[in-house]
Amino acid sequence: MRSLRHVVRSAVLLALSGLCVGNALGQTVDNLPLGKIAEQQTRHIATYFPGRMAGSPAEIIAADYLNHTFTKMGYSSRLHPFDAQFLYRSQNTGTQSQQQNLHSVHATSVIADKAGDAPQQIVVMAHFDTYLPQSDADSDRNLGGLTLQGVDDNASGVGVMLELAQRMSTIKTHYSLRFVALSAQEAGEQGAKDYLAQLSPLEKKRTLLVINLNSLIVGDRLYFNSGVNTSSVVAKLSRDRALEIARRLGIAATRSPSGTSCCEGLKALDSEHIPLLLVSASDWRLGKKDGHQQRAVSAHFPSGSSRHQGQIDNLQYLDRYLPGHLAKREKESVRILLPLLKTLANPPADA
């Protein structure tokens, strides 16, 4: 019988063969429209790697695919395996009581580095795992599981991250770059906690900013927020600059209202005062100009999002009820974040 690693590698080679950035006519990455790579990667990951639950075969194959992809771009990329635990709540038969059991999974994140002139680094991060059912109630409601494509949550963030990595791969930078695809985020932020635990005090100090990309499609607009413990200086250089770029390009983007909870998924990093820029799409708000899309969201996304729902967070459903929105949102994200990342990685001499 072939080993799991052999099966994984065969699956990765098949997945890689299914995605070609550029085309047979020799079109280069620089000639591709902004957002095209992100859309291709989002669709590819969702199609080839559904059910990317931490510790599952699909997660292992997806991690290997991301590792190969970063390596092909020229990054120093590696798989980072770790053990994660989460509580599973089961319903006792014939009673209303619940029982909690601690479950363990062996997850794998991917970390890709590109050295700059200086050791300080800017990190772009996105989780690639899909929701792992954590109770009998989750299973009864069909949340997560083997069929969840996780297009919005969070192939969309990974797709944008991969396009940023591709376009930054040939650019010489002053600061070093790191791209991190986290796993086990859907199991109580275990991926971020593990990433933080492996950083030395010096590496934490050298982390100038973490840009986290999460659920970029289903929402009324893009939201850019800083961490609670991110300094006003860093917020001005990252969040405020991103919003300025968006305004200049005519892209709907804003900050979350004051008092909104911060740092979902990255509370561990924020507590260590690691600077954060959090990019996501929020719930849809009714009454905006695009009445057609608002009616579609109201009717087909009752909670205002697609999180964890296999029957909704898939390509067929999103393309039907939000036609063209995946490509639009991926393009908008790259148009804002690429110039921002270039400026952050190569700051003006007088900055």
Question: By mean pLDDT, which of 2-6, 58-62, 233-237 is the weakest?
Answer: 2-6
Q: Phi/psi of residue 217, each to 5°? A: -100, -65
Q: What pLDDT, on a 0 to 100 scale, did the predictor assign at position 262? A: 75
H or E segment at 91?
Answer: strand 76-91
Task: Show the beta-strand stretches assigned E in 137-281.
Answer: 175-182, 207-214, 222-226, 253-254, 276-281
Model confidence band, residue 103 (pLDDT cutoffs 50, 70, 90): confident
Residue 84 has pLDDT above 60, yes or no: yes
Q: What pLDDT, on a 0 to 100 scale, did the predictor assign at position 308? A: 67
Query: What mean pLDDT comes out for the span 330-349?
Result: 95
Query: What mean pLDDT comes out for the span 221-243?
Result: 96
Dihedral over alpha carbons 8, 11, 12, 18 (to 10 degrees) = -170
Q: What does the pLDDT look like over 143-165, one tens digit per residue? A: 778 889 999 999 999 999 999 99
Residue 342 has pLDDT above 90, yes or no: yes
Q: What does the pLDDT look like over 284-330, one tens digit per residue? A: 443 344 444 444 555 566 554 566 666 789 999 999 989 999 999 99
Please report, rounded to a whole number, the percentage of residues in the chain having pLDDT higher than 70.
79
Q: What is the mean pLDDT of the chain?
A: 85
- 232 C-beta neighbours (distance < 10 Å), count: 10
Model confidence band, residue 24 (pLDDT cutoffs 50, 70, 90): very low
Q: What pLDDT, on a 0 to 100 scale, did the predictor assign at position 311? A: 79
Residue 176 to residue 124: CA distance in whole angstroms: 11
The amino acid that residue 95 corresponds to is: T
Question: By mean pLDDT, which of 185-189, 209-213, 267-271, 332-336 is the weakest?
Answer: 185-189
H or E segment at 82?
Answer: strand 76-91
Q: What pLDDT, on a 0 to 100 scale, did the predictor assign at position 286? A: 37
Query: What mean pLDDT comes out for the span 181-186?
Result: 95
Q: For the domain made up of 27-345, give the CATH fold.
A: Aminopeptidase (3.40.630)
Counting every residue written for the chain, the total comes to: 351
Residue 73 has pLDDT above 90, yes or no: yes
| pLDDT: which is higher, 290 or 31 | 31
